Amino acid sequence: MSGISSPTRPWFKLKINHIDSTQTSPVALWLAECERLMMLVFQESNFYNSIAMVYMDLVVFGSGVMLIYDDFDNVIRCVNPALGEYYLDITGKYRP
């Protein structure tokens, strides 16, 4: 998990096309603040425990599910339903 979504370093970047994130424009500052807040929410909740289960389910079953609910104490609460508690739908071209 540390190579994909490490809790100790930034692993995602919010970006809008044609806006340089190194500048101090209001949009770039707002995106940087949103990234900081998202990382804080992920660290304070059970997100990283849940995403580890998703990665394991992807390897074992070929699909992984994580539901994210609002939580008054931790902002979000992540839940991993067991195989059989959910289903995948397919299109007419047999694509999920």
pLDDT in tens, 36-70: 999 999 999 999 999 999 999 999 988 899 999 99
Instruction: Evaluate if residue 21 carries a pLDDT over 70.
Output: no
- Whether 33 and 64 map to the same domain: the answer is no
- Look over the chain and give the mean of its residue pLDDT values, rounded to a whole number: 88
Q: What's the whole-model pTM score?
A: 0.79
Domain count along the chain? 2
**DSSP count for the chain of H helices, then E strands:** 2, 2
- Whether 53 and 85 map to the same domain: the answer is yes
Domain residues for the domain of 52 are: 45-96
- Whether 40 and 80 map to the same domain: the answer is no
- Strand 75-79 and strand 67-71: the pairing is antiparallel
